[in-house]
Structure 1
């Protein structure tokens, strides 16, 4: 799953003059004997400026390798990648959403990079990028960049209520502060009833998950005691605002709701703050960020890690050069530059300091240390397609029996995952 609302402002649009893709066979020969690496990057994953800087820097460092990039659209990318992997004319490097790799690896169309993890600093990779990049014990996806949700809050409303955001380190402190903020016309928090990624964080904090696997079969896990405790906390937090119980954060867009001026907090990627300010310029300078609190003060709340990995198709014409490209783009120097340029979380925990001067990205980086991914199975795509988790959440929030509704949703998750795996 790829966030469309990332940190660092509204979406940066690639220049229309970016290179079109040509096949590996067409690009093998270059003047001076250089080899061209064909790369697919996704729309808005980097700015045109960063792409230009990286390409020029890479080619200067590796004069025998040229880089040709085609920017891909997220709509329909799954089918396009599947077709490319099944062909004999695939690009050399593909950027893909971190939760999609199992689906592509299952087809046999990706190169196994397990023996390259040490030289790519795999020991420090963010868990939420590294784990979904692996399938059946083999590493296919190399973590590229990450983004996750934080709390965006109104600094003026917090100050007026006597709430110190820097002191909020635990769930109980969070709900106490939110209760204090929730008075008069102010909503302590705007939390729609179907923000299932936020629910996932609370479930992971309790030691649960959406689904578990045993002997090749998946079982939905929303009806476990751990997951039920996560839903119980979600319901308690959601009740401290006026968010709809039957919609997610996109309906209505929660940035639009916060821009109206009476919402003290939302859970969002930091880029949501820029959308709020675009809608209501009077809020400029009045928005802050802190990591989603955990159960205890010594550990931030669990978050879903969105972002991308880089893969090499098995049919790539230049796998060695592709690996060199990936090694540079995911290495220390360019990861730090990428994080600053795009307000991303770097792919490794040891590089978190690169975004220390960006409040939103810094809050993301703290949460990313406790990042998680959805169940690593090709069948998870089928769960997201019908999404029984949303229906379950609405049912509970509107008075349904949590255990019964969780059991029903767990059956739906198991059916979808086992059919698609």
Structure 2
């Protein structure tokens, strides 16, 4: 099955979650490049790492066979401990790897530390790059420069209970307004169910509502950012999302504090008729009470036939700026991050590929993926590409705003005005 591929390339970047020190020096000008020896690679350790290791080991063997005198040494890092390891590597070249996997939400902070090499020209001459989903590639880009290959991506769509919809004679919602009405109708008919499980702390479910209504959380003007969460369009989206956290859909007493994982868990446990979940939530849902009783469609937009823009999560593969083996490192990144091994990683881990042709192939074999891939290819969005977002995210500015509106503590104008002021303080604008 072929999906739409948007041609617009948004100027979006990535969020910094790490605590990387600014402007660490990784100047490698004048140093000779090494073409043999050990190539050090850092990858993230998964909860069940064996499947990932098997694919990586295959790539490692292929690479070593093609590069005489080169040994690839792969170290798997715990995700929770990544900040200290990366920060140390940015400041101490001797401890740095040549290649690393890192989250696209960490990129802005890492580039502020001069941590990764600019691969813009390299990817431009790489044949595989023409098939990268443009908006996913944007998550590897800061200030017009690309610092990695998107290794996999993840988006969210609308899960719904087919048994409940059949029993009540309902159709899947075609717009966000219909979703609200449907959720309210289900709650009225089945008071033991949430019409949809969403949470005040579920930021990645909130963002598509803001974007679908034509708003955004902030905009860039030159080198500075300014909050736009208090714009009319953003307020409309936040209000529409907050309406779901109401007594006749998902009661605030239960739902105002729900996170994304808790929202999905409520659906998986049979407590909700719908939820907004990721392709990566499939195993959790199938392990619950609704296995075999659900389907997934793209989260609809404001108008029938449209798809609400989703947040583009995922991880990147990049070359450390301090590496003395830049060419070898880039070759390995393009091998492991290329089409062949992305498809192998999908088979082993279920990671959604970032190439349109590979996405189409895997979706043809697994219909479950179709709504997620259609969502990706219809156009995804990202958060502000500035380290200041770390403070905003850590402070829970957007979740607090949703909770204030949903619980009636503040009206949407007052809540978003306060949020904008807090965000602008972090932006320094």
**What is the TM-score with the length of structure 1 in the denominator?**
0.84
What's the CA shift string for 1:294-349, capped at 9, x where partnerless? 22344321111111111211111311111111111222222222223322221123
Q: Indicate conservation of the 8 Å contact 2:63/2:332, yes or no.
A: no
**Aligned partners of 2:155 and 2:313 also within 8 Å:** yes
Larger deviation, residues 92-101 vs 325-334: 325-334
Look up the match of 2:397: 388
Q: Deviations over 1:5-51 (max 9, x none)?
A: xxxxxxxxxxxxxxxxxxxxxxx99xxx9543211111229842343
Give the Cα–Cα distance (whole angstroms) in 1 for the partners of residues 156 and 104 of structure 2. 16
What's the CA shift for 1:401? 1.6
Q: Is the Cα–Cα contact under 8 Å of residues 319 and 333 in structure 2 kept in the other structure?
A: no
CA distance in 2, matches of 1:404, 1:119: 50
Query: Is structure 2 residue 342 aligned with structure 1 residue 335?
Result: yes
Per mean C-alpha deviation after superposition, the further-off stretch among 235-244 and 376-385 is 235-244
Q: By how many angstroms is 1:403 displaced?
A: 1.1
Describe how 1:221-232 pairs up with structure 2 within 5 A: 221-232=228-239
Structure 1: gaps of 5 or more residues: 3-27
Would you say the 8 A contact 1:126–1:371 is kept in 2? no
| 1:241 to partner: Cα distance | 2.4
Name the CA shift for 1:45/1:293 in 2 (closer, same or farther; >3 Å): farther
Decide whether the 8 Å contact of 1:294 with 1:300 is kept in 2: yes
**How far apart are 1:359 and its partner, in Å?**
4.0
Which residue among 298, 308, 320 is the counterpart of 1:301? Answer: 308
Task: State the Cα RMSD in Å.
Answer: 2.6
User: What is the TM-score normalised by the length of structure 2?
Assistant: 0.82
Query: Which residue pairs with 1:378 in the alignment?
Result: 387
Q: Which runs of 4+ in 1 moved over 6 A?
A: none
Matching of residue 188 in structure 1 with residue 195 in structure 2: yes
Alignment counterpart, residue 46 of structure 2, candidates 41, 44, 48:
44
Cα distance between partner residues in 2 of 1:362 and 1:341? 18
- Provide the residue aligned with 1:102 in structure 2: 108
- Name the structure 2 match of 1:412: 422
Is the Cα–Cα contact under 8 Å of residues 128 and 371 in structure 1 kept in the other structure?
yes
Given that 1:113 and 1:138 are in contact with CA atoms closer than 8 Å, whether structure 2 keeps it comes out as yes
8 Å CA contact retained: 1:88, 1:315: yes
Q: How far, CA to CA, are the matches of 2:207 and 2:131 in structure 1?
A: 23
8 Å contact 2:163–2:293 — kept in the other structure? yes
Residue aligning to 1:88: 93
Report the 3-state secondary structure (helix = DSSP H, G, I; strand = E; otherwise coil) of the residue aligned with 2:361.
helix
Unaligned runs of 5+ in 2: 1-13, 16-32
Change (3 A) 1:405 1:319: same
Matches within 5 A, 1:76-225: 76-89=81-94, 90-120=96-126, 121-165=128-172, 168-182=173-187, 183-184=189-190, 185-225=192-232
For 2:330, what is the secondary structure of its paired residue?
helix
Specify whether residues 159 and 146 from structure 1 end up closer, same or farther in structure 2 by C-alpha distance, changes over 3 A only: same
Cα gap change, 1:37/1:296 in structure 2, threshold over 3 Å: closer, same or farther? Answer: farther
- Of 227-236 and 118-127, the range deviating more from structure 2: 118-127
Mapped contact 1:202–1:230 kept (Cα < 8 A): yes
Please say if residues 129 and 309 of structure 1, whose CA atoms lie closer than 8 Å, have aligned partners that are also in contact: no
Q: In structure 2, what is the Cα distance between the partners aligned to 1:36 and 1:79?
A: 23
CA distance in 1, matches of 2:385, 2:372: 23
Q: 2:273 aligns with which of 264, 276, 286?
A: 264
The count of aligned residue pairs is: 386
Q: Deviations over 1:141-175 (max 9, x none)?
A: 2211001112222221121122233xx43223433
SS at match of 1:289: strand
